[in-house]
């Protein structure tokens, strides 16, 4: 099993970013929260590796709380 990839791994990043933003256009905050939840579940299933998902959660949470990043 490979760990969470934190080096660039995606092309067309500006497109992807725009899609993510546009998906929420015209939605209320709670609708957006649900959309994000569906998106997370779809992507988690696609990744298919619980430990990678766990690393991603830890990584995301630590940055939000301004702790030292454990992602690398």
Partner 1 sequence: MGAAAGLTRGVDGSPIPVWRGVGEAPHPATDRERATVAIVGGGPIGLAMALDLGRRGHRVLLLNRLDFISAGSKAICFAKRSLDIFDRLGVGDAIMGKGVSWNVGKVFWRDGDAPIHQFDMLPVKEQKRPGFINIQQYHVEERLYEAASGLDKIDLRFGHEVIAVEPRSDGVALTVRTSNGEYAVDADWVIACDGCRSPVRTMLGLDFEGRVFEDNFLIADIRMQGERPSERWFWFDPPFNRGQSALMHKQPDNVWRLDFQLGWNIDRDAAVAPENVERYVRGMLGPEAAFEPEWYSIYTFQCRRMEHFVHGRVMFAGDSAHLVSPFGARGCNGGIADIDNLGWKLDLVLRGEAGEHLLATYDYEAIVTADENILNSTRSTDFMTPKSEVSRALRDAVLELARDYPFARPFINSGRLSTAVSYPSSPLNTPDIDRWEGGIAPGSPALDAPLAAGWLLDRLGGRFVILTDGWTGVERTDAEVVDLAAMKTAPLELPCQRYDLLPGSAYLIRPDQYVAARWREPTPERVAQAMRRAKGLPS
Residues forming the site for partner 1 (CB under 8 A): 30, 33-34, 36-38, 40-42, 45
CA-based radius of gyration for the chain: 14
Nearer to partner 1, 2 or 30 (CB): 30
Which residue number, 6 or 51, has a Cβ lying nearer to partner 1?
51
State in angstroms the smallest separation of the CB of 13 from partner 1.
Answer: 25
CB of 68 to partner 1, least distance (A): 24
Q: CA nearest 47: which of 3, 14, 6, 11? A: 3
What are 48's two structure tokens?
């298919």
> What's the start-to-end Cα distance of the chain, in Å?
16
């Amino acid at each position: 099993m490979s760990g969470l990839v934190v080096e660039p791994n995606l092309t067309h990043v500006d497109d992807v970013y725009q899609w993510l933003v546009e998906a929420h256009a015209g939605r209320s905050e709670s609708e957006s929260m649900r959309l994000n939840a569906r998106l997370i579940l779809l992507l988690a299933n696609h990744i298919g590796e619980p430990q990678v998902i766990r690393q991603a959660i830890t990584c995301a949470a630590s940055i939000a709380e301004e702790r030292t990043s454990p992602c690398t």
